[in-house]
Amino acid sequence: MIVMKFGGSSIGTAEKIERCINIIADQKSKNPAVIVSAHGKTTNGLISMAESALEGNNETNSFIDFHNQLIADLKLDKQLLTTLYLELNEIIHGVKLVKELTYRTMDYICSFGERASSAIIAAALSARGYPAVQVNSYDIGLLTDNHHGSAHPLSDIDEGIAKNILSLTGIPVITGFLGRSNEGKITTLGRSGSDFSASIIGAALNVEEIQIWTDVDGVMTADPSVCSEAANLPVMSFQEASELAFYGAEVLHPATLMPAVQKKIPIKVLNSAKPQEKGTLILTTSQLSDRIAKSIVYKENLSLINIVAPQFRSTAQLLNTALTKLIELHKDIHIAATSESSISFVLDKPYTDEQLEQIVQECSALGTVSIKKNKCLVCVVGEELKGNPNVLGLIFNKLKEMQIKATMVSQSASEINVAFLIENDEIKRTVSALHSLLTELSTRKGSVHS
Ligand code: ADP
Ligand code: ASP
Ligand code: MG
């Protein structure tokens, strides 16, 4: 058996859906379990819809019209999603009436994207002669904690999921992104969480391979949307891929690899527009390439918080108090730096002005707090960096030469990455310059290694 996951970008139009159906049909003999994201940017639309219901506007037509158009283009039954539309209208109307939008309700509203896409793709497969069945992941045992918005799967769910999927007839087309809490409510696994769903379900079924079908040629040497020179990486290790995802490469959700690593299941990242290409193979074993480092990734719109607190007698005490406060606020950090009486940290993701204001308020009891917004964390990842300090020197020389100010420099103990902070508006210049440098160094690798 295999798992095939199709991201929103691969199923955004009827034409793209037809392409994905052919990809599934070609591998039908491998017994695929198909996992789907919502079509295109549907989840963003549902979030805006929910927020605007809170402001008193109950508008669901954008969702309904978009899906009806797909249904018409694919020549499917016009009534396919009628019940789902009624349910969506009711909840959006409810938010408008009660003027309240909890994380739990937001998860429920987001669920309509994947529930619609799985129904459309299952119907389209069946209509083209490949009998398929729509499956809600939350009905087949994908149980999670109740951390709405970024829920985590419970342990011991594999057997239930496998039993349920194996009892189905036809190709299962399963909702990505969604789970169910022990209170019986729909949860979501965090934005871009369908990759994680694919890995959880792949591990439960102990499949021979998990395929992540997306809109680029696999994992690349840089994000191709900011670096036109980016090239495909044919193979990489789980550890590299997980650093890459953690530091922002959207192509994989950060938690995706965990269940697959435990079962040593290879993951392939493939381009649904070019199914004949090899994509990227991610394996448990270390993978040295002939490059100096594999990829440059970035995470933008982050904030840097600085707390100056001379009253603390030790840095450990300050660090401990600040981190405890952040845990209380359900906020996480990416990297931190300390000095005798101050601590600086980069928050894990973009937060709204109100959320940042709350952090400042809550931390002001510790000392003087300041925030710098519009920061971007850049990370160079690759096993080739290990024990090769010359490359780090060359990277920072290049940044200096280009007058790009890099701060908060950090390297993991595994030495397979180096991360630093720049301004948002320097992303393109930084990624392109470092990409050219790494490509140039790779061509004369022997002389660079220490
Ligand atoms: P999907 O809809 O398939 O889930 P995503 O938009 O989540 O697709 O992820 C694919 C996108 O990830 C690409 O379009 C690309 O812009 C971005 N990306 C960022 N870093 C990388 C990288 N190193 N390699 C490949 N893609 C990357
Ligand atoms: N549809 C969800 C999102 O946009 C999950 C996913 O695409 O993987 O975040
Ligand atoms: Mg994605």
Ligand 1 contact, 300 CB (< 6 A): no
Probe target for ligand 2 pocket from 10, 177, 188, with the most ligand atoms within 8 Å of CB: 177
Nearest ligand (C-alpha, residue 193): 2
Which residues make Cβ contacts (< 8 Å) with residue 190, sequence separation at least 6? 149, 150, 151, 196, 253, 255
From the alpha carbon of 272, which atom of ligand 1 is closest? 3
Select the more confidently predicted residue: 337 or 44. 44
Probe target for ligand 1 pocket from 211, 214, 233, with the most ligand atoms within 8 Å of CB: 214
Give pLDDT, residue 69. Answer: 98
Ligand 2 contact, 192 CB (< 6 A): yes
Give pLDDT, residue 134. Answer: 98
Give pLDDT, residue 388. Answer: 82
Ligand 1 contact, 223 CB (< 6 A): yes
Is residue 284 pLDDT above 80, yes or no?
Answer: yes
DSSP class of 154:
P
Distance 220 CA to ligand 1 centre (A): 9
Give pLDDT, residue 390. Answer: 86
CB atoms under 10 Å from CB of 68, counted, come to 16
Ligand 1 contact, 295 CB (< 6 A): yes
Give pLDDT, residue 51. Answer: 96
Express as a percent the part of the chain with pLDDT over 90: 77
The dihedrals phi and psi of 147, each to the nearest 5 degrees, come to -80, 80
Identify the burial level of 411 via C-beta atoms within 10 angstroms of its C-beta, where 0-12 means exposed, 13-18 middle and 19 or more buried.
middle
> Does residue 409 contact residue 418 with C-beta atoms inside 8 Å?
yes
Distance 393 CA to ligand 2 centre (A): 38
Residue given tokens 């530091």 in the structure block: 247
Is residue 49 pLDDT above 70, yes or no?
Answer: yes
Task: Kindly report, residue by residue over 62-101, the tens digit of the pLDDT.
Answer: 999 999 999 999 999 999 999 999 999 999 999 999 999 9
From the alpha carbon of 44, which atom of ligand 2 is closest? 4
Nearest ligand (C-alpha, residue 6): 1
From the alpha carbon of 189, which atom of ligand 2 is closest? 5
Is residue 106 pLDDT above 60, yes or no?
Answer: yes
Select the more confidently predicted residue: 313 or 377. 377
Distance 436 CA to ligand 1 centre (A): 20
- Which domains does the chain possess? 2-215 (3.40.1160.10), 295-449 (3.30.2130.10)
- The gap between the terminal CA atoms of the chain, to the nearest Å, is 45
Give pLDDT, residue 445. Answer: 66
Distance 369 CA to ligand 2 centre (A): 34
Give Cα 188 to chain centroid, integer Å: 12
Task: Kindly report, residue by residue over 24-44, the tens digit of the pLDDT.
Answer: 999 999 999 999 999 999 999
Distance 214 CA to ligand 3 centre (A): 8
Is residue 281 pLDDT above 80, yes or no?
Answer: yes
> Does residue 373 contact residue 433 with C-beta atoms inside 8 Å?
no
pLDDT band, residue 450 (cuts 50/70/90): very low
Q: Strand order in 209-214's β-sheet?
A: 132-135, 171-175, 32-36, 2-6, 209-214, 267-271, 280-283, 235-237
- Nearest alpha carbon to residue 244 among 214, 264, 266, 223: 223
Ligand 2 contact, 173 CB (< 6 A): no
Secondary structure (DSSP) of 333-350: EEEEEEETTEEEEEESS-
Give pLDDT, residue 191. Answer: 92
Give pLDDT, residue 447. Answer: 52
Ligand 2 contact, 137 CB (< 6 A): no
* Average of per-residue pLDDT values in the chain: 93
Q: Which residues surround ligand 3, an ion (CB under 5 A)?
A: 7, 192
Q: Strand order in 186-188's β-sheet?
A: 143-144, 178-181, 186-188
Is residue 389 pLDDT above 90, yes or no?
Answer: no
Kindly list the distances between the CA atom of residue 311 and the CA atoms of 126, 318, 362, in Å, as whole numbers in the listed order.
68, 9, 17
Give pLDDT, residue 130. Answer: 98
Task: Kindly report, residue by residue over 395-433, the tens digit of the pLDDT.
Answer: 999 999 999 999 999 987 788 999 999 999 999 999 999
Report the nearest-CA residue for atom 8 of ligand 2: 192
> Does residue 194 contact residue 137 with C-beta atoms inside 8 Å?
no
Nearest ligand (C-alpha, residue 245): 1
d(CA 61, CA 408): 46
> Does residue 383 contact residue 287 with C-beta atoms inside 8 Å?
yes
How does 175-197 read in b/e, with b if 16+ C-beta sit within 10 Å?
A: bbbbbbbeeebbbbbbbbbbbbb
pTM over 0.75: yes
Ligand 2 contact, 177 CB (< 6 A): yes
Residue given tokens 């971007």 in the structure block: 376
Give pLDDT, residue 233. Answer: 94
Which amino acid type is present at position 20? C
d(CA 136, CA 184): 13
Give pLDDT, residue 125. Answer: 98
Q: What angle do CA 29, 31, 34 make, to 5 degrees?
A: 125
Ligand 2 contact, 193 CB (< 6 A): yes
Report the nearest-CA residue for atom 11 of ligand 1: 251
Give pLDDT, residue 449. Answer: 47
